């Protein structure tokens, strides 16, 4: 029987085949791309070491046998093992920012990325006035790096419980030359931050329910579970953030927490709390905002 790499000769051949097989296999696209075509383009261009924004000039290029074998191996891992493309390429993107990723961290994806591109305005009256900020549950360090660009005059602390995640974050911070602005530390939520106060705290914490973990697409099972799961209602970490947040904010300081599709669970858990929900361009009511004063009023 003729091998796959003997049947598919050009980039166009491989692209058509990949899109068809991705659809046939029922792959899930939620780690950088949202459809089979874009993900196939990304993987093929990456696998051939070609510019990610230059497909057309190479569509009819004939590939060498080693190139065809490399693509066959790469695409087979995506299809058979359901490995997210970001882990296969060792990179993920938030807007124009590229980050190194591997299986020690979840693949960067956050509604904060869109909001930080605008300096969190209009929610922040004076972005230039942010002197100290915290990225809680930093993972790969991606949001801390975006914060450093949004608030160049601020000192950014980025903390995580996982030493493995902090190793990845350290690499990304170094890639952007931000070692003097972004300080990495190991902390279980606020436990390692005694005495620290911030003008702004953002967090994209674990918030997947234990029940949801039983039904999520297989791609997510390649990610570290400690970065995803947060109890039966997904709010174990969120509760700790709300209970301790006021102690780590300056007067007038703001806390913003991303909870994805769990806004209803948050409001059900705290029915008397008037959360302010922020809309991002790609999603409504995914992030809530509370001031230090509101946290004191409702969680002390």
Question: Residue 2 pLDDT more than 70?
Answer: no
Number of C-beta neighbours around residue 242 at 10 A: 22
How much is the pLDDT for 296?
97
What proportion of the chain, given as a percentage, has pLDDT over 70? 99
The predicted structure's pLDDT at residue 212: 85
Predicted local confidence at residue 282, as pLDDT: 82
pTM of the complete model = 0.93
CATH tag, 4-89? 1.10.8
pLDDT band for position 4 (50/70/90)? confident
Q: What is the DSSP string of 141-201?
A: SHHHHHHHHH-TTSEEEEEES-HHHHHHHHHHHHHTT-TTTEEEEE-STTTT-TT--EEEE
Beta bridge partners of 258: 287
pLDDT of residue 155: 98
pLDDT of 1 reads: 47
Task: Give 3's pLDDT tier (boundaries 50, 70, 90).
Answer: confident
Please state, rounded to an integer, the average pLDDT across all residues of the chain: 94
Give per-residue pLDDT as tens, 159-197: 999 999 999 999 999 999 999 999 999 999 999 999 999
Give the mean model confidence (pLDDT) for residues 81-105: 96
Structure confidence by residue, pLDDT tens digits, 257-292? 999 889 999 999 999 999 999 988 888 889 999 999
- What pLDDT, on the 0 to 100 scale, is given for residue 5? 72
Mean pLDDT over 244-250 rounds to: 97
CATH number of 104-299: 3.40.50.150
Q: What would the pLDDT profile of 32-77 be if each residue is shown by its tens digit?
A: 899 999 999 999 999 999 999 999 999 999 999 999 999 999 999 9
19-38 burial, b at 16+ Cβ within 10 Å, e below that, comes to bebbeeeebebebbbeebee
What's the whole-number mean pLDDT along residues 106-128?
A: 92
4-89 shares its CATH topology with 104-299: no
Question: pLDDT value at position 300?
Answer: 79
Where are the chain's structural domains?
Answer: 4-89, 104-299
pLDDT at residue 239 is higher than 70: yes
């Amino acid at each position: 029987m003729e091998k796959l790499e003997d049947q598919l000769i050009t980039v166009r051949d491989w692209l058509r085949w990949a899109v068809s097989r991705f659809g046939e296999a029922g792959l899930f696209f939620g780690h950088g791309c949202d459809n089979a075509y874009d993900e196939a383009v990304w993987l093929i261009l990456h696998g051939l070491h070609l510019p990610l924004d230059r497909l057309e000039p190479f569509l009819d290029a004939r590939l060498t046998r080693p190139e065809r074998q490399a693509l066959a191996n790469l695409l087979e891992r995506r299809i058979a093992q359901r490995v997210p493309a970001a882990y296969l390429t060792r990179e993920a993107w938030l807007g124009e920012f590229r980050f190194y990723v591997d299986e020690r961290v979840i693949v960067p994806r956050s509604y904060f990325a869109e909001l930080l591109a605008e300096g969190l305005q209009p929610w922040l009256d004076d972005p230039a006035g942010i002197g100290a900020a915290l990225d809680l549950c930093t993972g790969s360090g991606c949001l801390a790096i975006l914060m450093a660009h949004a608030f160049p005059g601020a000192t950014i602390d980025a903390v995580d419980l996982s030493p493995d995640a902090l190793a990845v974050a350290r690499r990304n911070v170094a890639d952007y030359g931000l070692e003097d602005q972004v300080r990495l530390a190991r902390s279980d939520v606020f436990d390692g931050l005694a005495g620290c106060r911030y003008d702004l705290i953002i967090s994209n914490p674990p918030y997947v329910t234990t029940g949801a973990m039983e039904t999520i697409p297989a791609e997510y099972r390649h990610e570290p579970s400690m970065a995803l799961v947060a109890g039966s209602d997904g709010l174990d970490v969120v509760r700790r953030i709300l209970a301790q947040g006021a102690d780590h904010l300056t007067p007038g300081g703001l806390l913003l927490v991303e909870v994805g599709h769990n806004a209803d669970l948050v409001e059900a858990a705290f029915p008397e709390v008037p959360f302010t929900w922020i809309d991002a361009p790609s999603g409504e009511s995914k992030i809530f905002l509370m001031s230090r004063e509101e946290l004191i009023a409702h969680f002390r």
